[in-house]
Chain A
Amino acid sequence: MTDRQEIFAKVAEQIAPFNKKGIALAEGTTFAGDLEWDSLTVMDFVAAIEDEFDIIITMNMQAEIETVGQLVDAVEKLRG
């Protein structure tokens, strides 16, 4: 697995408990549209991702992230 694939797998693992409808995950899956997450779910999920990767995703960055792929990119960058 490449670094990116590894991150994708870990992100998918964190999405699972919040993925109530069992939506299949792809790069383009959106959090608000496809997964239908409200702001409270987003907050819990972001905290889980931050803990998993030991990073901070600021609210400014969160506003730019709509899809799973974009989140994976952001995590890859933040982990440095």
Chain B
Amino acid sequence: MGDLFSKFDPLIAERQALLDTGVRDPFAIVMDEVKSPTLAVIKGKETILLGTYNYMGMTFDPDVVAAGKRALDEFGSGTTGSRVLNGTYQGHKACEDALRDYYDMDHAIVFSTGYQANLGMISTIAGKGDYVILDADSHASIYDGCFLGDAEIVRFRHNSVEDLDKRLGRLPAEPHKLVVLEGVYSMLGDIAPLPEMVAVAKKHGAMVLVDEAHGMGFFGPNGRGVYEEQGVEKDVDFVVGTFSKSVGTVGGFCVSNHPKFEVLRLVCRPYVFTASLPPSVVATAATSIRKLMHAGEKRAHLWKNSRRLHAGLRELGFTLGTETAQSAIISVLLPDQEITVRMWQALLELGLYVNMARPPATPAGMFLLRCSLCAEHTDEQVGDILGMFEAAGRAVGCIG
């Protein structure tokens, strides 16, 4: 009998070879205790968290936690149903209201994850005969949204306005087109030149969807994302986001001013054919979103932390994904898998958790240690983080 799993043999062998060198498994960390947005206990060791995307540190906000407890008491532990059947509670509506206010848009639709939001939006609005044009470095959920749908898929070079223009120019004029962009690209932490890209998309008659998963909360005057900061609100047709980063819980959404937007609730399969978020989750999300509207001080501190970490790591001699701190993601580029894992482990043993990322998730076959800052990291913690990077970098030999 053939074994369907034999196709995974090379990956299993590669992993085993890596683990046989004696390193800890970078993809099997367990947080035994979580003390705050920036501190956890891993294998008995108190560890600073620098790889969580918990940008605004809302996970332990007292108002957010209280709202979740109240909803758990009043509405129970789960909805056991789809949004279109028995799974829409007052809390789901309140959450969509909060999003409409936050984004100042006419429509908001909440999905069970950000992954499903991209899956649902892209596969539903781009159908047979339409075109989706996406950045080559797009998140997996964007690619999967393309593969779930029936549209024709065209990629352009990462952040290349010229390549996007050229590709759109070669497509036939009649079919409908959707250009999918991200505000912040999460592997290197670089941002998109949205005014130029959106202008090109509009020139060719395409609609534009921007995924602001890593931009919500701290870009733009109202924290709406890179598209707000760069002043292209009028030309962006759909904004997709997640509750799993700045909002500090789980869930996904899309907001839009499109007059026919509400029809999605009937035709979007990843919205219809899955259970809705639990009442406690939508209550925490709504409370967090409303608090993020007035989080100017936190935003300022997050930017300060990001700039300081970027400058400090650079000064230590590390190679980083961007010239300057463009977002709250600072990526350290390392030469190969072995050095990356050794560096990752050295940091962990010193008491610092960062994300390790490797191909195929990374662009151009890169090995990365990805740091994401939190508004709740104190100045002292950022100092400690730099100290740990210095010690680990010297021990592993990746800085002089």
Contact = CB atoms under 8 A, between A and B. Distances in A.
A52 to B, nearest CB: 13
Contact of A54 (B153, B154, B170, B171): B170
A32 interface: no
A58 interface: yes
Nearest to A43: B136
B170 A55 contact: yes
Contacts of A55: 170
A50 B170 contact: yes
A58 B131 CA distance: 9
Q: Interface size bucket, B side?
A: 10 to 19
A58 B152 contact: yes
B364 interface: yes
Interface in B343-400: 360, 364-365
Interface string A38-78: 11100100010010001110111000000000000000000
B146 interface: yes
B contact face: mostly helix, strand, loop, or mixed: mixed
Contact of A56 (B136, B157, B171, B364): B171
Given A43-B136, A50-B170, A59 B157 contact: no
A47 B171 contact: no
A57 to B, nearest CB: 9
Contacts of B360: 39
Contacts of A59: 146, 153-155
Interface string B146-163: 100000111101000001
B170 A60 contact: no
B167 interface: yes
Given A40-B365, A43-B136, A50-B170, A58 B154 contact: yes
Contact of B152 (A39, A50, A60): A60
Contacts of B154: 56, 58-59
A40 B170 contact: no
Given A39-B360, A40-B365, A56 B170 contact: yes
Nearest to B153: A59
Contacts of B170: 50, 54-56
A47 B157 contact: yes
A56 B365 CA distance: 25
Contacts of B152: 58, 60
Contacts of B171: 56
Contacts of A40: 364-365
Contacts of A43: 136, 155
A59 B151 CA distance: 10
A40 B363 CA distance: 8
A43 B146 CA distance: 17
Closest 8 pairs between A and B when the two form their complex, measured CB to CB: A59-B153, A58-B152, A56-B170, A58-B154, A58-B153, A60-B152, A56-B154, A60-B153
Interface of A: 38-40, 43, 47, 50, 54-56, 58-60
25 contacts: A38-B365, A39-B360, A40-B364, A40-B365, A43-B136, A43-B155, A47-B157, A47-B163, A50-B167, A50-B170, A54-B170, A55-B170, A56-B154, A56-B167, A56-B170, A56-B171, A58-B131, A58-B152, A58-B153, A58-B154, A59-B146, A59-B153, A59-B154, A59-B155, A60-B152
Interface of B: 131, 136, 146, 152-155, 157, 163, 167, 170-171, 360, 364-365
